[in-house]
Structure formats: C-alpha cells, structure tokens
C-alpha cells in the first residue's frame, strides 16, 4: 500500500489533486488554520455554498466544488475537539477519514489530499492522530481501488517527520 501513499510538507491549497480535505468546523463558515487558507484561496463562492449546506456534525463530511483552488472538490471534514480522549475523539477522527475516503471512492477519484485533521487548534495529540490517519487510510486502500492515491500534506516539518516515521513503521509491520 505504501506506493499509494505520499507524504509531503506544504500547503494543501496549492495541490492540483481531485479532492482536498478541509479540517472544517461544524458551522462550515471558515475559520483559522487550514480552513481559513482554503476559504481564502477558493474565494467567496465557497463560503456561499457552505452557508447553503448549513453545517456538518463532527465526524461527517460535506462535499463542495473547489472554485478557485486547483483541485476539483473540497471535502469538508469536521474533526473532534480534543477533550482528553474519553469523549469519543478517536472514533470521531476515524469517521472523518473513512467518510472522506468513502466520498473519494464513490467518485472514483485518482488523488485525495489530507491535512492533519484536529491537530491544530482542536488540540488532538499529534502521534495519536497521525496513527489513526495512517491506519484508516492503509486499511481503506487494502480494500478499495479508489482513491488510487492518498497524499498526506503536512504544514510543518515536525508533523511531516512524524508521518514519515509512522509510515515506515507501518510498512514494516
Ligand atoms: P483543526 O481545527 O482541525 O485542528 P487546524 O487548521 O487548526 O485544524 O490544523 C490542522 C492541521 O493543518 C495542523 O497540523 C496545521 O498545522 C495544518 N495546516 C494549517 N494550514 C495548512 C495548510 N495551508 N495546508 C496544510 N495544512 C495546514
């Protein structure tokens, strides 16, 4: 599966892939971090369609076009806010990844780009979140032809190195 997973350091808004995933919030009205960057780059049309959708529960995904972004779709995934780990956070984070993969699979997409959902202001511990992300993606790819490729896009170097290390370990196990 390792050949269907890429890990890069960079800005997800610059990727010309079939779909990028947004680490959105339940209101779907933009915010800081990757959400703010995506709304800025996509333009006001994105906010207008998100307003029509009217929000999204934690763990679920809503799909929009990508407007001025170079990708085709934005999958808005609402990650859990870390509250210590006993409020269902792992299941909700797993659901985000699975729902995004499912949307990509239903559309028979080539490449899906994923940020580190919940790892910014939502405060999810990085190693635990990255392990969930890699496990869910790996498991999905074993059982599905689509998306053909998953690109993890990490904004900073420590996160990039963490994902690299965990993928090497996963591929050995
Ligand atoms: P959340 O609210 O789900 O925690 P954040 O946007 O605050 O979402 O952070 C999620 C992750 O996205 C963090 O690791 C952050 O460094 C990263 N990030 C921020 N901007 C970008 C970007 N333009 N491209 C990719 N990742 C980004």
Residues 6+ apart with CB under 8 A from 167: 2, 5, 7, 134
Indicate if ligand 1 lies below 6 Å from the C-beta of 160. no
Domains, the chain? 2-172 (3.40.220.10)
The residue-averaged pLDDT of 156-166 equals 98
Residue 1 pLDDT greater than 80, yes or no: no
Cβ–ligand 1 contact at 58 (below 6 Å): no
Is there a catalytic annotation at residue 35? Answer: yes
Do 62 and 56 form a contact (C-beta atoms < 8 A)?
yes
pTM of the model: 0.98
Q: Sorting pLDDT into bands at 50, 70 and 90, what band is 173?
A: confident
b/e per residue, 71-108, with b = 16+ CB within 10 A? bbbbbbbbbbbbeeeeeebbebbbbbbbbbbbbbbebe
Residue 8 CB less than 6 A away from ligand 1: no
H or E, element range at 47 = helix 44-53
pLDDT in tens, 15-58: 999 999 999 999 999 999 999 999 999 999 999 999 999 999 99
Centre of ligand 1 to C-alpha 88, Å, is 21
- Residue 68: its pLDDT value, please? 98
How far CA 159 is from CA of 71, 80, 126, in Å, comes to: 23, 19, 8
Distance CA 74, CA 62 (A): 8
89 with 128: CB under 8 angstroms?
Answer: no
Expressed in percent and rounded to 5, the helix, strand and coil fractions of the chain are 45, 20, 35
* Residue (of 20, 133, 140) closest to 75 by Cα position: 20
């Amino acid at each position: 599966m390792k050949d269907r997973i890429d890990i890069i350091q960079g800005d997800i808004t610059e990727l010309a892939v079939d779909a990028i995933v947004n680490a959105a919030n339940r209101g779907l009205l933009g915010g800081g971090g990757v959400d703010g960057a995506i709304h800025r780059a996509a333009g006001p049309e994105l906010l207008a369609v998100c307003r029509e959708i009217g929000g999204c529960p934690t763990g679920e995904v809503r799909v929009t076009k990508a407007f001025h972004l170079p990708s085709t779709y934005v999958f808005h995934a609402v990650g859990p806010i870390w509250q210590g780990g006993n409020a269902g956070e792992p299941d909700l984070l797993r659901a985000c990844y699975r729902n995004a993969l499912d949307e990509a699979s239903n559309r028979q997409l080539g490449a899906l780009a994923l940020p580190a959902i919940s790892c910014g202001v939502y405060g999810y511990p990085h190693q635990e979140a990255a392990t969930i992300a890699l496990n869910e993606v790996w498991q999905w790819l074993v059982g599905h032809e689509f998306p053909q490729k998953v690109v993890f896009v990490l904004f900073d170097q420590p996160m990039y190195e963490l994902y690299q290390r965990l993928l090497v370990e996963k591929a050995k196990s």
